[in-house]
Structures are given as structure tokens and as C-alpha cells.
Amino acid sequence: MTATAAPIDAVITWVDGSDPVHIAKRQARLLAAGGRLHPNGINPHRWGSSDELTYCLTSIANHAPWLRHVWLVTDAQTPDLSAIPQDLRARLTVIDHRVIFAGHEAVLPTFNSLSIEAMLWRIPDLAEAFLYFNDDVFLTAPLQRDDVFRKDAPVLRGKWVDYSALAQDEAKRQDPALFNHYAQITAAQMVGFSPAHMWASAHVVHPLRRSLLADLFARNTAAFIATISKPFRDLAQFQPMSLHNHAAIRAGCYAPAPVKDYMHMRTGAVIDFPHEELRAHLHRAATGGTKFLCVNDFPQLEAALPESRAWIERAIGA
């Protein structure tokens, strides 16, 4: 990054779902909900933690050391950062949910990534340009500023899709694998895009502009309040990154990624795809063939492919 370039931060959301306090709060919320929840919102892997945060931070330290600051958003938890290089630890701040939900504390505690993502722009002192990481997303090759922002324009990864048939299919709305599709449909419609022609954002690092998210909140306050009020994922919600991306496209302030440089190993991939194919993907990530890797269910992947941990450690530069 040049001396005159505006800074870029990283924001990571993390939870330790095995924490007894977190479990107790979650169970209380589940009981209060009375069982009327979407299966996507209560899948236990959503709150699992299996070295993903360490891998995510290590990948940033090795592949994007130029990022100004890292903000780690948690719910009254402090992770063990002893394995993280001191230089990165010195540029890392833990932010509690109560900070970003200030003024809306009545919706806490929340166990809903969509609710949390809708409020990330409220982190105090956050840079205008920032990268949002789920903790299961890792950098697997050196990242340059132009990989994520071209001047002020976020570089978007994904594809144009026609989801019109899906939007009209009520039976599929309860399919956990399609929840994200519906949340993106809702986001697209909020800024005037039809399900027949909308941008499907990839599960990857998301370059976001703080001012755009703040403006979207100001213009869609009721929708944001409704979204953050859901303690677990709900079909009435929108996907915040998709809303941002569609708004950026609508404003003409975006750049499509020139090539597909990311890989997403979703939950169930070890069942749905030949293991040799998955090994080939891991090899590609470990040898610089991609810049981003998402592994939704690390324990499941490692149980099926014990060598996967070594491949991922090689990819992140551990």
C-alpha cells in the first residue's frame, strides 16, 4: 500500500460455541423462540470453533500484513491469540457485540450472523474501506490492495444469476442449503433488483465501504431493525453484504473480479464430491492457485481428509 493510499481494515466475526456461558445464553434464546426457527439458523456448526480463527489471523499476518487494523467482533469472549505474530496482535482490537449494538441492546444476545453483519459498520474508528472475514475464510496467497478495492470501488466476487424460479418456490424456502439464496434475493429487491437478474455474492472475503452501509441503514432503518431483532437466522432477513454489493452496483461504484480466485468448501462437500477432487482443490490453494479459501466445517473436512490440515497450513503460510 502506498503512503497516500487510504487505509483498509479487516473485520472478523468469531464465537466459541463450546463456552458454557454462551451455551446457556443460546439455550435460553432457543427456549424463548418456542421452536419456530429455520433449520439453517440452528445448525450447531454455526457456533463451532476449531482453529479457524488462528488460521484466519495467521493468513492475514502472512498474506496481507499491510492491513491497518484488525477488529475482532465477539460476544463477551476473548480468544487465545498466543499463536498470532506479535505485530498483528498489536494491531488487533476485540469489539464486543454491545459496542456495535449500542442503542439496540434489547436485541442481545444474538446468535445470528446476519444480525451481527448488519451492524459491523458501527465499529468505532473503523476505516472507510474494510474487509469482512467470517473466521472460516482464509487468505491463501499474497493479497494486494487492487485485489479488493480499485480506488474506492469494491472488487466483487460472485456471478449474475436468475433466481426467479427459486423466489416463487415456497417448498424450497425451508431447505437449509438455500437459505443464503433467499437472504440475497431479499437484499437485491431492497435496492430494486429483480430475482431474475441479481448478483449472487460468493462466500469469500467481502470488501465493504462503511459510508455505504451507514447510508443503507439510514434509508432502510426499519428493515435493519427488523433484521437485528432476529436472534437466529430467519427468512425475513436480508444478507447485509449482498445489500451492500447491490447498492454498489446500482451506484456504478464496483469492479468485478477479473478471474475466479476463491474456493468454497461447504458443509457436506466431503459427501457430495469425490475426495480426489477435494484434494486437488486443497493442492491448488496450497500452491498459490487461489487467494481465498472458505472451509465451512473444518472438523468434517479433517475427518474425511486427515491431510487437509497440513495443506491448509501450507496455504496460509503457517
Q: How far apart, in whole angstroms, are the C-alpha atoms of residue 280 and residue 44?
A: 28
- Give domain status of residue 311, yes or no: no
Averaged pLDDT for residues 2-28: 88
Mean per-residue pLDDT of the chain: 93
Nine-digit cell at 222? Answer: 426499519
Rounded to 5 degrees, φ, ψ at 297 are: -135, 85
- 8 A C-beta contact, residue 81 and residue 51: no
What whole-number distance in Å separates Cα of residue 47 and Cα of residue 74? 12
Average pLDDT over residues 200-206: 96
Helix axes 210-219, 240-251, angle to 10 degrees: 100
Residue 227 located in a structural domain: yes
Is 298 domain-assigned? no
| Rounded Cα distance, 9 and 64, in Å | 10
- 291 lies in some domain: no
Cα separation, 47 vs 112, in Å, equals 10
**Long-range contact set of residues 82-87: C-beta below 8 Å, sequence gap at least 24:** 83/54, 83/58, 84/54, 84/57, 84/58, 85/58, 85/61, 87/61
Tell me, yes or no, whether 293 lies in a domain: no
**211 located within any domain:** yes
Yes or no: say if 129 and 6 are a contact pair by the CB < 8 Å rule: yes
pTM of the complete model: 0.94
* Alpha helix segments (H runs only) across 148-274: 164-167, 179-190, 210-219, 221-228, 240-251, 269-272
Domain count, the chain: 1
pLDDT of residue 177: 86
Can you read off the three cell numbers belonging to residue 90? 498489536
* Parent domain of 107: 8-138+150-259
Classify 93 as helix, strand or coil.
Answer: strand
Q: Which helix (H) or strand (E) holds 97?
A: helix 97-100
CATH code, domain with 41: 3.90.550
Taking only the tens place, the pLDDT of each residue in 111-123 is: 999 999 999 999 9
C-alpha separations of 233 from 14, 114, 278, 288 in Å: 16, 7, 29, 35
Is residue 312 assigned to a domain? no
pLDDT at 297: 87
Calculate mean pLDDT across residues 93-119: 97
pLDDT of residue 10: 98
